[in-house]
Structure 1
Amino acid sequence: MQLIGMLDSPYVRRVAVALIAAKSPFEHRPISLFRHIDEFAKINPLLKAPTLVTDDGTVLIDSTLILDYLLATYPAMTALTPKEPGERPRALRFAGLALAVMEKAVQRHYERALRPAEKLDQPWVDRIIGQLQSGLQALDRELPQTGWITGPLGLADIAVVCAFGFVAGTVGDVVDVARYANLAAFSARAEALPAFRAAPAEDGVTAPVGL
């Protein structure tokens, strides 16, 4: 099984950290969508990261669908999901907020990185920032101040931390992350764990197969 993509993508990192936390074997190939476009296109012509190549050669895309496949295929992954059915909506609530934050942060990042300044649509940019801030505010307000979302560290926690790490690392100059002290403290607790340290949000780093 191969995970394709760079760990500075919150979506790729989300899958990598989950695999490492579950001690599920995989090969990480840090292929860039921009610097290695021809190499990436040979694996997935849609140029979507993360891409997962299963043991039978099936190519999967979208971090949520990849995690769904992994949960159905590798029993160890189920330890990252709520033990009680009643806790599932809470976990999904936080995962949804985290994914929305990722989406808006990625949009803002690419607007700045790829679109010429004279062609920016400022109302659209303002809308993105507003949505991003709303997501961060909700996470900051609702996250527990100790422990994790539904007990042991799980997929929802991983999504939240990967989202915040991406925001801080790429758009922290336009979004004041210091305003979200509870979210920052939550993320700091997670970032100190071995699974997160093994898959830092850095360009070109190769994640290990497990811990």
Structure 2
Amino acid sequence: MRLIGMMDSPYVRRVAVSMNAMGLKYDHEPVSVFRHFDAFAAINPVVKAPTFVTDEGIMLVDSTLILAHLDRIVAPERQLSPTTIEAHARAQRVVGLALAACEKTMQLVYETKLRPEEKQHDWWRERVLSQLAAAYRLLEAEIGSGETWLFGDRPLQADISSAVAWRFTNGELPGVVAAEAHPKLARLAERAEALPEFVKAPYE
């Protein structure tokens, strides 16, 4: 199996960390959608990270769809989704909030780092900042104490996505989302980042 994309993408990283947690072997190819556009296009003409290639040579895109596929090929004890309907719904809520935080962080990065200053829009930046703050406020409320995993004795996808999102936002937009205002999330992320499956897929 091949995972194509850079670990500075939270979407690539959540797949990598999840595969490590699942015990799946894969080859990571750190190809950038910006610096290596042509090389990426040769693998996937859509140039979307992450791109994933199965053992059978089938190319998949979108981290959530990739992870849904991987959950079907591992043993039940390695799957990263809760089994009960109620727990699954709550886990999907947490993952959705984490992905929203990633999306809003990415929008702010594009707006402030890639768009020329004279073409940036204050009203748009403030709107996205408010959405980012709301995502993390709601996510903090879902975390519990931050001292335990959300759905049992091991981190599942909700834990992984939350920790990956937190590291991404703080890496790309330091100081924008204060750890003091999100102590439980910050603690959960700190514990997660110390795990081997996270260490093996470091944020770059």
> TM tier, shorter chain?
over 0.9
* Greater relative contact order, per chain length (Cα 8 Å cut-off, separation 6+): 1
Who is 1:163 aligned against?
A: 165
Who is 2:55 aligned against?
A: 55
Who is 1:175 aligned against?
A: 177
Q: How much does 1:84 deviate?
A: 2.9
Who is 1:38 aligned against?
A: 38
Q: How much does 1:34 deviate?
A: 1.2
1:11-26 mapped onto 2 (5 Å cutoff): 11-26=11-26
Q: Name the CA distance, whole Å, in 1 between partners of 2:142 and 2:70.
A: 28
Find the residue that maps to 1:80 and give its secondary structure: coil
1:75-94 mapped onto 2 (5 Å cutoff): 75=75, 78-94=78-94
1:1-211 mapped onto 2 (5 Å cutoff): 1-75=1-75, 78-145=78-145, 146-151=147-152, 152-202=154-204
Find the residue that maps to 1:19 and give its secondary structure: helix
The C-alpha deviation readout for 1:53-103, integer Å capped at 9, x for no partner, is: 111221111000111111122336743221333311111110010010010
Q: Could you list the runs of 5+ residues in structure 2 that have no partner in the other structure?
A: none
The C-alpha deviation readout for 1:91-125, integer Å capped at 9, x for no partner, is: 11100100100100011011112100110111111
TM-score by length of 1: 0.91
- Quickly say closer, same or farther: Cα 1:78–1:23, change in 2 above 3 A: closer
Q: Name the CA distance, whole Å, in 2 between partners of 1:144 and 1:197.
A: 24
TM-score by length of 2: 0.94
Kindly report the root-mean-square deviation, in angstroms, between the aligned alpha carbons of the 2 structures. Answer: 1.4
* Contact in 2 for aligned 1:149/1:156 (Cα 8 Å): yes
Find the residue that maps to 2:46 and give its secondary structure: coil
Find the residue that maps to 1:82 and give its secondary structure: coil
| Structure 1 stretches of at least 4 aligned residues deviating more than 4 Å after TM superposition | none
* Contact in 2 for aligned 1:143/1:149 (Cα 8 Å): yes
Q: Percent of pairs identical after alignment?
A: 46
**When the two structures are aligned, how many residues end up with a matched partner?**
202
The C-alpha deviation readout for 1:160-209, integer Å capped at 9, x for no partner, is: 0110000000012433343211111110011111101111111xxxxxxx
Q: Which amino acid aligns with 2:116?
A: P
* Contact in 2 for aligned 1:19/1:77 (Cα 8 Å): no
Find the residue that maps to 1:60 and give its secondary structure: strand
Q: Could you list the runs of 5+ residues in structure 1 that have no partner in the other structure?
A: 203-211
Q: Name the CA distance, whole Å, in 2 between partners of 1:187 and 1:3.
A: 23
